[in-house]
Amino acid sequence: MDFDFQFDWAAAFASIPYLLPGIPWTLLISFGGLAIGFFIGIFFGLLRISPIRWLRWVALCYIEVFRGTPILVQVLFIFYGLPQLLGSPINALVAGIAAIAVNSGAYISEIVRGGVQSIEHGQREASLSLGLSRAQAFRYVIWPQALRRMIPPLGNQAIISIKDTSLFSVIGVSELVRQGQIYIATTFTALEVYFMVAVMYLAITWTLSILLRLLERRGIAG
């Protein structure tokens, strides 16, 4: 079987101006959701190591639910399901940010738990022996060290969340993939357009990876 295949570079480059407006939306959803997810992760991550059993179970249930279900299902539930419960529609952008927040928060919870538990128990005991309270020991001794160790996995989660936004075209968010779909509907250049979408995602994640490596090195040097 003979295939006459030819990649149209002119069509690929012509799509760039139409795809670029999707980048701010992609970044807004990603980093807006990650910012909220970070605080969710801290909250449930600390609950995971709480001495109170039922608090640990609450955190575990949250983590297992949102790690055990696809983010696509989560955003569809938020966008289509919650309005039926609340009696009012939810903006697609808000739904996207919320999905990234609750999904990344579940993974960040485990990152926080692992980071805090990786600090030697003796450091806490030494801090208490110096007259610090438990809260002060955590704030000034345990947490700064744990946060430094969490930088690599937090960076990985950020990259994953950025790529997850590509699924939100199903609810009409004007991120990169959605912009590509709209452009393809008028030009029928799917191969070239999706190639450029992939290049743009790669540029975003590659830039973030470089920044995270620099931050990690600076953290280790400090």
The per-residue pLDDT for 131 is 78
| Residue 35 confidence (pLDDT) | 97
Condensed to tens digits (0 to 9), the pLDDT of residues 111-145 reads: 999 999 988 887 877 777 777 778 888 888 888 88
Domains of the chain: 20-221 (1.10.3720.10)
Q: What percent of the chain has pLDDT over 90?
A: 70
CB 37, CB 103: distance < 8 Å: yes
Closest Cα to residue 164, out of 13, 34, 56? Answer: 34
Q: Do 38 and 108 touch, CB atoms closer than 8 A?
A: yes
Query: What's the Cα-to-Cα distance from 168 to each of 9, 12, 26, 101, rounded to whole Å?
Result: 27, 23, 10, 14
* Reported confidence tier of residue 219, pLDDT bands at 50, 70, 90: low
15 backbone dihedrals φ, ψ, rounded to 5°: -80, -15
Centroid of chain to Cα 208:
12
pLDDT in tens, 33-71: 999 999 999 999 999 999 899 999 999 999 999 999 999
* Biggest CA-to-CA distance, the chain: 79
Structure tokens at 62: 């949250």
The helix (run of H) or strand (run of E) holding residue 144 is helix 143-164
